[in-house]
Amino acid sequence: MDAALRAGIALHNAGEHHAAHDPWEAVWLDLETGTDDERLLHGLIQFVGAIHHATTRNWSGATGLAASAGDYLAGLDPSYHGVDVDAARRALATLSADPEVIDRRRPPPLRHEGRVPRLGDLDFEAIAAAAPALSAEHGYDEAAVDSAIAYAREEVADGERTLFTGMLFEFVTAEEPQRALVARRLGRHVDRRNREYDDVAGLFD
C-alpha cells in the first residue's frame, strides 16, 4: 500500500489529479469496506476527484465529492499512514463551501511524512505504480510500460545496472514533450528485449 500511496500523492502534487487515483484504486479495491485503510484511500480517491471536477468547473461534482471525501476521512488519525489528513480535511471543507476557490488558488497539495512529495522523490516501487497511471492518462503504450516494469524488476533481482529502471524514472519525472520522447525510446528498448527473449525461447526445451 505504501508505494501506491506515495505514487498517488506525488501524481496529485504534480497536477496529475485524474491519474492520481489509479495507484490508490488498485489497492483500495482489495480492501475490506470500512477499515481505516479503505477509508483513507476512498477519501483520497474522492479528494482528487473533487479537485479534478473543480479544475474543469464542474462545481456540483466538486462539492459533492469534497463533502463525501471529508466523510471518509473523518475520524482517521491526523497523520494516518503519514498523510496529513487534517490538512486534507480542511482543504475539502473549503472546496465544499466554495468550489470556485480553485480559480483563485492552486489546488491544495497533499503532504506525506511532513513533506510535499514530488515525482522526483519516488523510489522504484512508487515509480512502478505511477508509470502505468501516467501511461493510461496520456495515451502511451501501456503494454510497453508494463513490460518495462517487469524487465526492470528482473534486472534489479539479478543485481544488474538496470536500463529499464532508469528509463521508467525518466518517463515518470519528465514533462511534455520530453515524456513523449522517453516513451518512444522506452518502447524501442522493450521491443528489443522482447526480440532477444523470442530468439532464445525454446532453445533448451
Could you give phi then psi for residue 179, rounded to 5 degrees? -60, -35
User: Helix, strand, or coil here: 203?
Assistant: coil
Are residues 6 and 105 part of one domain?
A: yes
Residues 80 and 170 in one domain: no
Residues 28 and 85 in one domain: yes
Note whether 35 and 85 are same-domain residues: yes
Predicted TM-score (pTM) of this structure:
0.93
Rounded percentage of the chain residues whose pLDDT exceeds 90: 87
Task: Tell me what the mean pLDDT of segment 97-124 comes to.
Answer: 94
Question: Does residue 129 lie in a domain region?
Answer: no
Q: In which domain, by residue range, is 159 found?
A: 140-200
Above 70 in pLDDT, residue 155?
yes
Give pLDDT tens digits for 73-98. Answer: 999 999 999 999 999 999 999 999 99
Tell me: do 155 and 187 sit in the same domain: yes
Q: Supply the CATH number for residue 70's domain.
A: 1.10.3450.10
Residue 176 pLDDT grade (very low, low, confident, very high; cuts 50, 70, 90): confident
Q: Based on the domain organization, do 75 and 115 belong to the same domain?
A: yes
Alpha-carbon distances of 194 from 49, 108, 143, 178, rounded to whole Å: 37, 42, 12, 24
The span from the CA of 122 to the CA of 2, in Å, is 11
In this prediction, residue 131 carries a pLDDT of 98
If asked whether residues 84 and 7 sit together in one domain, one would say: yes
Total domains, the chain: 2
Question: Do residues 58 and 95 share a domain?
Answer: yes
Residue 197 pLDDT class (50, 70, 90 cuts): confident
75 dihedral zone (left: phi>0; alpha: psi -120 to 50; beta): left
Same domain, 149 and 56: no
Q: Are residues 54 and 146 in the same domain?
A: no
pLDDT band at 205; cut points 50, 70, 90: very low
Asked if 169 and 111 sit in the same domain, the reply is no
Whether 106 and 150 share a structural domain: no
Q: Is residue 130 part of a domain?
A: no
- CA gap 19, 2 in Å, rounded: 17
